[in-house]
Amino acid sequence: MTNIAKEFQGQTVICTFEVSPGTAHDVIDALNAAYNEVISRQPGYVSGAVHLNDAQTRIATYSQWRDRRDYQAMLRSSEMRERNRAIHAMCRHFEPVMYDVVETWHVRGGSDAAPAN
């Protein structure tokens, strides 16, 4: 399970994919296969999630890694280079970006959100 916390010392990566409603589920199938068969088995992988917007025109993936080097090593593997070429061919545009978590909020005992300090 993905746990988003500002105390996380690893690497967070959010990738966005611009797709069409006709290709969205093909891209999701390819991403799911990549996560199940390759990404989640790599050294340093912590967790991940795949999101689809209501219009089925954008997909976002969220992944956490022990550190940046582990993520970059996964990208350089021949298996992922091949899979990424196939995934990117189905997309209009994609953008992977590395982030640091700076704050999180959670509901505490009611409907008011508060920083998760």
Residue-range domains of the chain with CATH? 11-101 (3.30.70.100)
Q: pLDDT for 61-76, tens place per residue?
A: 999 999 999 999 999 9
The tokens for 10 are: 């690893």
Residues 55, 81: Cα–Cα separation, whole Å: 28
Choose among 41, 23, 52: nearest CA to 77: 41
Q: Would you place residue 113 in the very low, low, confident or very high pLDDT band (cuts 50, 70, 90)?
A: low
**Residue 104 is inside which H or E element, if any?**
none
pLDDT higher than threshold 90 for residue 12? yes
The tokens for 106 are: 């959670």
Compute the average pLDDT of residues 11-31: 97
DSSP for 20-45, please give it: -TTTHHHHHHHHHHHHHHTGGGSTTE
